[in-house]
Amino acid sequence: MKGYLENLRPFERRLVVVVGAVLFVVLNLLFVVPHFSDRSILQRQRARARTKLAEYNAKIAQTSDIDAKIKRLQSDDLNVPAEDQLTHFSTAIQLQQAESAVNIISSGRITTKTNQFFLEQTQTISVQSKEPQLVDFLFKLGKGTSLIRVRDLVLRPEPSHQQLSAQIKLVASYQKKAPVRGAATQTVAPKASAPTLPGSTAKPGTAPSKLGPVTKQTSPAPKPTTSNAKKS
C-alpha cells in the first residue's frame, strides 16, 4: 500500500486520502452513530428489571400473610350447600326486608351464572320506602360476611315525594365445592375359571355342566328269535 501511494502524484494522494476520510465518516454514520444510545437503553431496561424484581420479591414476602387471610376467609361460616343456595338467597332478602321495614313492590326472576370457582345468583327487586329504612336495608344486607352485594341501584322519588322508589340488582356469590382429587377407582378382579373335570367336553375357562360328563349308552343287540315251525 505504501509503495502504491509513493507511485501516485501529490494530487492523486490527496484524492485518495479525501475519499478514504469520506468513506470512514459514512461508515461511522451508518453503523456506529445509531448505536450511541444503546448504553442508555440498556441502563433503562436494567432499571425496569430491577424494579420488577423488587416488586416480585415484595409479593413473595407477603405469601405467608396472604395464606393466613385465605385460611381465615375459608374458616368463616360462608359455605352454603348447593341445594340450599337459592333458598338462602331469597330468604336473606325477605328477612332483611321485614327487619328494615322496606316494602318490596316486585321481584324479578333469579338467574344463575357460574364459572370455575363461584356460582352467582342474581335478582332485581323494586322497593319503596323512606330514606333511613332504605339505607338500613342496603347496609345490613351486605354487612359483615354476607354473601349478598348490591351491583346496580336506580333511585327516583315517588310521585307523592314522600318516599323513595328504588330498583336494586342484588348478587350473591357462592363458592363451588372443589372436586375430590385422586378418587380411588375400584377394579373388578376376573373370576377364576373352574377346573374342568376329566372326560368333560367343556372348553377351557368355562364352567362345567352340573350334570357331569355325558356317557353314551348303547342298547344291547336283540337276540335272534327262532320259530319252531312244524315240519309238515
The answer as to whether 111 is a domain residue is yes
The answer as to whether 209 is a domain residue is no
User: Which pLDDT does position 56 carry in this prediction?
Assistant: 93
- Give, as one character, the DSSP assignment of residue 84: G
> In DSSP terms, which residues pair with 165 in a beta bridge?
128, 156
Say if strands 111-114 and 118-129 run parallel, antiparallel, or are unpaired: antiparallel
92 by DSSP, 3-state: which?
Answer: helix
The answer as to whether 59 is a domain residue is no
**CATH number, domain at 139?**
3.30.70.60
Kindly state whether residues 100 and 159 are assigned to the same domain: yes
Kindly state whether residues 93 and 164 are assigned to the same domain: yes
Residue 210 has pLDDT above 50, yes or no: no
The answer as to whether 57 is a domain residue is no
DSSP secondary structure, 32-45, as one string = TGGGTTHHHHHHHH
Can you tell me the distance from the alpha carbon of 156 to that of 201, in angstroms, rounded to the nearest whole number? 93
Q: What's the domain count of the chain?
A: 2
**Which residues are within 8 A (CB) of 170 and not within 5 positions of it... i.e. 6 or more apart?**
93, 122, 123, 124, 125, 141, 148, 149, 150, 151
The answer as to whether 73 is a domain residue is no
Indicate the pLDDT class of residue 5, thresholds 50, 70 and 90: low
At which of 137, 154, 175 does a domain end? Answer: 175
The answer as to whether 219 is a domain residue is no
Residues of the chain with pLDDT > 70, as a percent, come to 66
Kindly state whether residues 169 and 93 are assigned to the same domain: yes
The answer as to whether 164 is a domain residue is yes
Q: What is the dihedral of CA 193, 198, 203, 209, to 10 degrees?
A: -70
Full domain range(s) for residue 166: 82-175
Q: What would the pLDDT profile of 19-53 be if each residue is shown by its tens digit? A: 889 999 999 888 888 888 888 999 999 999 999 99
At which of 157, 175, 193 does a domain end? Answer: 175
- Judge whether 157 and 165 are in contact, CB under 8 Å: yes
The answer as to whether 155 is a domain residue is yes
Across the range 7-19, mean pLDDT stands at: 82
At which of 124, 154, 175 does a domain end? Answer: 175
Place of cell 335272534: 224
Kindly state whether residues 32 and 86 are assigned to the same domain: no
* Nearest one of 96, 67, 92, 98 to 80, comparing CA atoms: 92
Q: What would the pLDDT profile of 57-100 be if each residue is shown by its tens digit? A: 999 999 988 888 877 766 654 555 555 566 778 888 888 888 88
Element (H, E) at 111: strand 111-114
